[in-house]
């Protein structure tokens, strides 16, 4: 499915590269694993090849698709009580999906909430701030991979 040297995207961690494909004997079965080195960190993870898609490993978006999706960047949302009640589960779901569109939605939603809190002179919670940072890092890693690091300036994501 994936090949050594292939660039991939993995939930929460973002862009990376398969640096090794190896087999390991576990419970009497030889299982194939992908070892991934992430672009913006020293983190390496190994995931079972047979569960790669289920775990959210995917190829990066095509340039044209990414540019189309990025048209929605900075979309404003009104964060009402029904969203606030479910925001923790929405955040987890969007971060764990590994989909660019989900991370973009979460970034827009959390940035909208941060603006609302500022207008109300209330604090933006640390956990949402942390979640926003993870989602932004995820987006930035894929944007830099697909469109180049200079695109981060174009979209004000430095």
Residue 2 lies in a domain: no
Question: Residue 122: what pLDDT?
Answer: 93
Question: Residue 141: what pLDDT?
Answer: 95
User: Are 142 and 67 part of one and the same domain?
Assistant: yes
Question: Residue 15: what pLDDT?
Answer: 96
User: Are 32 and 108 part of one and the same domain?
Assistant: no
Question: Residue 109: what pLDDT?
Answer: 97
Backbone phi, psi, residue 115, to 5°: -65, -40
Question: Residue 40: what pLDDT?
Answer: 78
> In this structure, are residues 145 and 39 in contact, taking their beta carbons and an 8 Å threshold?
yes
> In this structure, are residues 43 and 15 in contact, taking their beta carbons and an 8 Å threshold?
no
CATH number for the domain harbouring residue 17: 2.40.10.170
> In this structure, are residues 107 and 100 in contact, taking their beta carbons and an 8 Å threshold?
no
> In this structure, are residues 58 and 8 in contact, taking their beta carbons and an 8 Å threshold?
yes
User: Are 73 and 148 part of one and the same domain?
Assistant: yes
CATH number for the domain harbouring residue 110: 1.20.58
The 3-state secondary structure of 104-141, one letter per residue: HHHHHHHHHHHHHHHHCCCCCCHHHHHHHHHHHHHHHH
Q: Measured between alpha carbons, how far is residue 90 from residues 45, 119, 140 in Å?
A: 25, 23, 20
Question: Residue 72: what pLDDT?
Answer: 95
User: Are 35 and 100 part of one and the same domain?
Assistant: no
Domain of residue 88: give its range.
Answer: 63-154
Residue 58 lies in a domain: no
User: Are 12 and 75 part of one and the same domain?
Assistant: no
Question: Residue 121: what pLDDT?
Answer: 94
Residue 16 lies in a domain: yes
Question: Residue 12: what pLDDT?
Answer: 87
pLDDT one digit per residue (tens) for the chain, 158 residues: 899 999 999 998 999 999 999 999 989 999 999 999 998 788 999 999 999 999 999 999 999 999 999 999 999 999 999 999 999 999 999 999 999 999 999 999 999 999 999 999 999 999 999 999 999 999 999 999 999 999 999 998 87
């Amino acid at each position: 499915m994936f090949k050594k040297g292939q660039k991939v995207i993995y939930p929460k961690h973002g862009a990376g590269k398969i640096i090794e494909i190896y087999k390991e004997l576990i419970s009497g079965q030889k299982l194939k694993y992908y070892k991934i080195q992430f672009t913006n960190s020293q983190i390496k993870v190994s995931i079972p090849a047979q569960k790669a898609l289920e775990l959210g490993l995917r190829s990066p978006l095509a340039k044209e698709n990414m540019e189309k999706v990025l048209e929605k960047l900075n979309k404003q949302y009104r964060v009402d009580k029904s969203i606030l009640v479910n925001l923790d589960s929405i955040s987890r779901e969007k971060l764990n999906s590994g989909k660019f569109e989900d991370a973009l939605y979460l970034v827009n939603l959390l940035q909208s909430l941060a603006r609302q809190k500022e207008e109300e002179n209330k604090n933006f919670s640390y956990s949402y701030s942390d979640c926003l940072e993870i989602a932004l890092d995820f987006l930035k890693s894929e944007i830099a991979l697909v469109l180049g690091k200079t695109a981060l300036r174009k979209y004000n994501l430095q």
